[in-house]
Structure 1
């Protein structure tokens, strides 16, 4: 005697492709939210508590670090509020934040190295490693999203995205 399996609808199959928010993804979202908020508060407090006038590049660095921390805070909050399958949109956004942060940090480090007259090669080498890693993650995130969206189109006949 064979047991008949229940048939899944296209929507149920899509939800199994990528659940709305798994426990691991929820933990990553909370971590991004808390770490981003803590980082923003720490950097802003450090910035505000610096005595005397600061050079322009120092203000720029503090502002950039604060903005990137706030971006991670916003990302974590956004991710926690999602109740629908994201189809790797969260990965694309996280990779974009990481790539932007690594590019901007590399630029600030290179500018500081040029102004000091030393260490430019080291700054570009270290920054280049971070940019390369972020770029690899961004390419992988876009590829994963494209694969999931192709599968959704196959399951729904192109009706949903």
Structure 2
């Protein structure tokens, strides 16, 4: 039943149930630190802007800080996990990337349209990020489905 000679189903399940790889854990640490640093940077920039800011500028600062906090939360979640995630972390990161890319593109296109400047490059650039993040998300779903299918095969679950 195993793909490797001399490797029993129990050994294969043991591999599936092992600790999160050092590279995946390092990725979580990077997401946590970068997200937290980004949130602090945006919050400090927002707090030190002179004078009252327009509502749309305040909303943009809040949204950017929220994006950074979302990545920090994702990184913290990955680090706290002691077991493999069966690619769930990749699926969540993919959907987070799709959401952030879509909202950011919409805001950039709205600002460009409001200023009558560079709407086409904003749409093309934003669409590129959305498509790439969507492709990564679809691939993450496929990898997760394959891993879960393999686990069911090895454990004999229905």
- In the other structure, the counterpart of 1:87 is 86
Q: Which runs of 5+ in 1 are unaligned?
A: none
Q: Distance in 2 between matches of 1:15 and 1:45?
A: 46
CA RMSD of aligned residues (A): 1.8
Partner of 1:58: 57
> TM-score, normalized by length of structure 2?
0.90
Contact 2:28 2:78 in 1 (8 A): yes
- Alignment length, in residue pairs? 154
The aligned runs of 1:82-161 (5 Å cut-off) are 82-158=81-157
Matches within 5 A, 1:62-81: 62-81=61-80
Unmatched segments (≥5 aa) in structure 2? 1-5
CA 1:21–1:123: 2 relative to 1, 3 Å? same
After superposition, the Cα gap between the structure-2 partners of 1:26 and 1:56, relative to the gap in structure 1 and judged at 3 Å, is same
Deviation at 1:48, TM superposition (A): 1.0
> Deviating runs (4+, > 6 A) in structure 1?
none
CA 1:118 to 1:86, structure 2 compared with 1: closer, same or farther past 3 Å? same
8 Å CA contact retained: 2:9, 2:154: no
